[in-house]
Amino acid sequence: MTAATSLHYVVLLPLVSATVLLLWTRIPQALVTAFGIGSVGAAAAVTALVGWNWLQDPQPQLQILWSWVQLESFTPRIALYLDGLSLTMTGVITGVGALIHAYASGYMHDDPHYRQFFAYMNLFVAMMLLLVLGDNLLLLYLGWEGVGLCSYLLIGFWNDDPANGGAARKAFITTRVGDTSMAIGLFLLYRELHTLDIRGLLEVAPLVWSGDSAMPTWIALLLLGGAVGKSAQLPLQAWLPDAMAGPTPVSALIHAATMVTAGVYLIARLNGLYLLAPGALEVVGWVGAVTLLLAGGAALAQTDIKRVLAYSTMSQIGYMFMALGAGAWQAAIFHLMTHAFFKALLFLASGSVILACHHEQDIFRMGGLRRKLPFAFWSFIIGGAALAALPVVTAGFWSKEAILAGAWSGGHHLWWAMGTACAFLTGLYTFRMIFIVFFGGEHAHAHQVDSRRMKVPLSVLMLLSIGGGLISLPLSAVLPAQSGAEGGHLPELVAVAAGLAGIALAWFWYGRSPQSAPVEQGLRAWAKSGWGFDALYDALFVRPLYGLARLNRSDVVDQAYALLMRLLVGLHRGTLRVQTGRLGWYAMAMALGMVLLLGAVRWN
Amino acid sequence: MELNPWLLPALVAIPFVGGLLAWYSERLSLTWPRWIGLLSMAATCVIALWIWKHADVPGVLPAADAPVWLLEFKLDWIPRWGITFHFGIDGLSLLMVLLTGVLGVLSVACSWREIQQYVGFFHLNLLWNLAGVMGVFMALDLFLFFALWEVMLVPMYFLIALWGHSSTAGAQRGHSRVYAATKFFIFTQAAGLLMLIAILALVWVHHQNSGQWSFSYEDLLHTPLSTAQEYGLMLAFFVAFAVKLPIVPLHPWLPDAHSQAPTAGSVDLAGVLLKTGAYGLLRFVLPLFPAASREFAPIAMALGVVGILYGAKLALVQTDIKRLVAYTSVSHMGFVLLGIYAGTTLALQGALTLMLAHGLATGGLFILCGELYERLHTRELGSMGALSRRAPHYATALMFFALASLGLPGLGNFVGEFLVLFGSFAVRPWTTALAATGLILAAVYSLYIVQKALHGPAADTRPVEDLTAREQAMMAGIMLALLILGLFPQPVLDLARAPLSQIGHWYAMGVPGP
């Protein structure tokens, strides 16, 4: 199985399964499970085979399926492209995806809409694969919008509650704002380079723009708009915490492991373009650095277990953006992969906890769960350790160290400091959550519900969260290696110490005695609200837009015509009034008219 | 294979005669008119596909001085004034004719249960309207064009006035279906009058120059005009077509007419009648008055953007689902206008693709609105809710068309909108960037429909009948067509390539002398 002949099966398997599940409404539940998990599992197997073959001769491979549009120089194709980067992404999507699907078959077992759930999940996987395998930016955009749609459908999956629908629309519309910026970026890119083919444009760009960085900077910034929307970075980050309204496996797959990293993939994929626009790359790094700190701070004040993880995701993706900005391309993708492992693990484990506590999500109503839910406890310990980058024994350590070292050696000492500060916060908020949930007194009547289908994926993810750092990614041909001085060991040690200090402080504050919910006011309330961005955007955009629209609900243009009509009717009534039917009146009018006419004649 | 030229008048005659037959057959049974209507419109589809299959579609660009027709039909009518029965069809016309045929079939099919009064007369009006539209898309004689333009309007008046329904919101303001029909009639009649004057003026100028009376499109194409004449005539034609498209601020007839019309009327209005405006701009305004159109382009494109944003903004706050969909049409037609006046190959092809996709998607939405009205007897979004649980197939279809309407890639509207935007950006980047923000508003109003109709708590506990087999077949057909248009648009683009590149060329360079 080579990439050039079999790559399309990777996309086709989940796509066909999604279609079957959508159309066959009376399918038995066992078949739903078989199709749902089987298709993604098979896609993972095909990926493994194709990837294995590809690794024997790691040359980029192209599979052209058909020509989408052919007009003048506008020739986007439906074609799949495999290189080290897309192979890495495909591996994560199908591998972690298959594990999450397996877990979900247990988690969603009793849901009345089990069939739709797997249909949407499979569709998501197919779209995400198109996003990373597409050989041109228009096909990438198709996947990009497609995953947005699935994200919308799955966040609002329990749509009886209008709040879930609201969260879903918020996610879709916020990311659409970014997507529109990205679309304008594509228009500009096409106008300048007359191609949307990714390799083509990366080849042409340096020739067209040698010495000119204004145009590439504009384009790179517009595309960055799309990236920050999908990846929930400032200023389009506000949708992600609300997206936790979806079922937990959705949060694990879409809002932690895959879709939200699409922005990182986009920038890494277009690294040649961003290298021509150093200013834009600087902005990428700052977006990441600021987001990681703000999100890390907000995570500290959350009381909902999934919102802690959501802010943590935002913060970790901030690390990836910072790495991209610092030119540590490979470190960014490396962290993307390890993050997918340990964040999926944490989300799925939190799902087990939530299920065991009868859909309770408030961490202060849990407590002392380590005895009743030992499996979830160990999942959390391992996932949390990887998230907090516990040295040497976790995958997260290797990737985060690579990022911080990259920032330091790239000369971005301020970013390094911000990242290190956040490493401290990460240790603190992660273990705050773990101590509150699993230690102290018991508040909840939890009972173990995990089935084997849920435990196996968790076990695999635990292994990956520990050993995933040993995987070496075939990225060197795609992404430039970082140049710059070695930083020495001191910054590394400081970063490690910061993370450990965070964990220690968490033990000191939350680990030794049972915790009750703190009073929410001042800084804590502000942080919990995600630093007030929701209120800000509501006041700045949502309310003015709707206010303006409501003001003009009955369409002022229509009113103008109505006024014209009323004037005419009035005139018409006025003239009607003259027709009284009384002879005397007519005689008088005639006489008056005569006088006027004669007078006019005389005047002349 | 040589195609018979009589196929072209047949495209007009079949619905015309079908209408008469439907009217008479009412005495036999109420189902006869329906089947006659369905078969007549299906026949036009078959003819259109037949022409597509057997015509010699030019692969390379034709010489730029004369239009090239796939099939032409010409018969003298009033020789003294140079008036002929002249029909011609090229890729552009053929696609519009096919759209008319397909939506005609759907219009008849969606009235199957809804229309129970004066069934024969209803189908007479519907089919005559469609016959008029068919003719408008093929007429190459401006007198004939005008005559058919009127044929298309009068039956529509009756469709709205006799079979329309009064919305609760409308009743409060004293607005009824008769009000809506009259408003529609006055707007379009006024525009038609303006067009008639402009046609006569153009013919007169042609007579002054050449000494011959001719209403022929090909003759008038080469009429030398002074700058002022050209600009004035261009403006008159533009306004006449702008009312139809519609372009803000000439749109107020549209929401009333769409929401009050019976389902078939709305499908027909949104799917086909609006397209005659865009077709008129492409076929007549740009080629007849290229220089003036170029000068006017910035204003027209700005009007397009105003339409996109203004229509979307009004859609955001509607509570009547048909009125909401009607305003989204204003928004989508703004993209078409933008693309037409950008005039690049990409933009023109995009405008055409969007016209087809919008016809299908909005047609589908209006059919769903009608089906909902049959079941719930309301069009108020507030009285729906939870249809995804109460009527899952219905919900899937509505979701699909809402997504098409917001421009989801993979569906036809996306190809249309993006080609327009790619093509226009090369000409006017800032205007186009502003137009692109319409994509955000489209997501807002589309998802608002989904939320209100499909999700959330149900407004009441009545059971809702899910789609019947007839309705499922209609929906599946449109959905498939939109998917094909979205993923395999190339055959359509190829068919329209020659005429559109020619129009674009004339628009950019002017029409060369004969």
How far CA A358 is from CA of A304, A446, A452, B327, B426, in Å, comes to: 14, 8, 19, 45, 57
Q: Which residue of B has its CA nearest to A184?
A: B433
Contact B397, B363 (CB under 8 A): no
Whether residues B436 and A183 touch (CB distance < 8 A) is answered with yes
B236 inside 8 A of chain A by CB: no
- Write down the pLDDT at residue B460: 79
CA distance B337 to B314: 19
Give DSSP secondary structure letters for B269-293: IIIIIHHHHHHHIIIIIHHHSHHHH
Q: Which residue has the tokens 């050989």?
A: A135
Burial of A564 per CB tally in 10 Å (0-12, 13-18, 19+): exposed
Task: At B176, give phi and psi (nearest 5°).
Answer: -130, 180
Whether residues A191 and B314 touch (CB distance < 8 A) is answered with no
The token pair at A505 is 């402080």
CA distance A299 to B426: 45
Model confidence over A421-446: pLDDT tens digits? 999 999 999 998 998 888 877 776 77
Q: Which DSSP symbol is given to B72?
A: E
CA distance A217 to A213: 6
B116 inside 8 A of chain A by CB: no
Determine the residue type at B128: W
* Residues in chain A, total: 604
Name residue A79's beta-bridge partners. Answer: A64
Q: Which residues contact A168 (CB under 8 A, 6 or more apart)?
A: A151, A152, A153, A155, A156, A159, A243, A245, A246, B447
Omega before B58 within 30 of 0, i.e. cis: no
Q: Which of residues 258-297 of B touch A (CB under 8 A)?
A: none
Element (H, E) at A65: strand A61-67
Element (H, E) at A288: helix A278-300
The dihedral over CA atoms of A204, A208, A213, A219, expressed in degrees to the nearest 10, equals -60
Among A15, A11, A34, A36, residue whose Cα is nearest residue A116: A36
Measured between beta carbons, the chain B residues lying within 8 angstroms of A142 are 409-410
Q: Which residue has the tokens 């996109």?
A: B308
Whether residues B426 and A191 touch (CB distance < 8 A) is answered with yes
CA distance A120 to A154: 7
3-state secondary structure of A391: coil
Angle at CA A460, nearest 5°, toward A457 and A464? 135
Whether residues A176 and B421 touch (CB distance < 8 A) is answered with no
Measured between beta carbons, the chain B residues lying within 8 angstroms of A186 are 422
Give DSSP secondary structure letters for B329-389: HHHHHHHHHHHHHH--HHHHHHHHHHHHHHHHHHHHHHHHHHHHHHHHS--BGGG---HHH
Q: ipTM of this predicted complex?
A: 0.91
Q: Count CA within 13 A, CB hemisphere, residue A93.
A: 34
Among B78, B89, B133, B105, residue whose Cα is nearest residue B244: B133
CA distance B184 to B178: 10
Determine the residue type at A534: D
Run means of pLDDT, 10 residues per run, chain B, 514 residues: 85 93 88 91 93 81 72 89 91 94 93 85 93 94 93 90 69 69 90 93 91 88 87 93 90 88 90 93 92 92 93 88 91 94 93 95 92 85 82 89 92 94 93 92 91 83 84 92 94 90 86 67
Angle at CA A272, nearest 5°, toward A269 and A273? 95
Q: Which residues contact B345 (CB under 8 A, 6 or more apart)?
A: A71, A72, B423, B500, B501, B504
Whether residues A553 and B488 touch (CB distance < 8 A) is answered with no
Element (H, E) at A66: strand A61-67
Shortest distance between the Cα of A514 and any Cα of chain B, in A, equals: 39
| Beta-carbon pairs below 8 A across chains A and B | 128
Q: Which of residues 294-333 of B touch A (CB under 8 A)?
A: 313-314, 316-318
- Write down the pLDDT at residue A577: 82
In the predicted model, residues of chain A with pLDDT beneath 50 are: none
CA distance A281 to A271: 9
3-state helix, strand, coil in chain B (%, to 5): 75, 5, 20
How far CA A364 is from CA of A346, A435, A516, B3, in Å, comes to: 18, 10, 6, 79
- Write down the pLDDT at residue A16: 94
Measured between beta carbons, the chain B residues lying within 8 angstroms of A550 are 317
B492 inside 8 A of chain A by CB: no
Q: Which residues contact B130 (CB under 8 A, 6 or more apart)?
A: B15, B41, B44, B100, B104, B107, B268, B272
3-state secondary structure of A362: strand
Q: Taking phi first (over 0 means left), then psi (-120 to 50 degrees means alpha), and beta for anything else, what does residue B78 get?
A: beta
Task: At B75, give phi and psi (nearest 5°).
Answer: -145, 135
Residue from the list B396, B403, B436 with its beta carbon closest to the beta carbon of A184: B436
Shortest distance between the Cα of A68 and any Cα of chain B, in A, equals: 6
Q: Which residue of A has its CA nearest to B386?
A: A160
3-state secondary structure of A67: strand
Whether residues A552 and B346 touch (CB distance < 8 A) is answered with no
The token pair at A311 is 């802010």
B483 inside 8 A of chain A by CB: no
Q: Cα-atom radius of gyration of chain B, to the nearest Å?
A: 22
Model confidence over B190-228: pLDDT tens digits? 999 999 999 999 999 999 988 889 898 888 888 888 889
- Write down the pLDDT at residue B1: 62
Name residue A387's beta-bridge partners. Answer: none
Q: Which residues contact A329 (CB under 8 A, 6 or more apart)?
A: A268, A271, A323, A475, A479, A480, A482
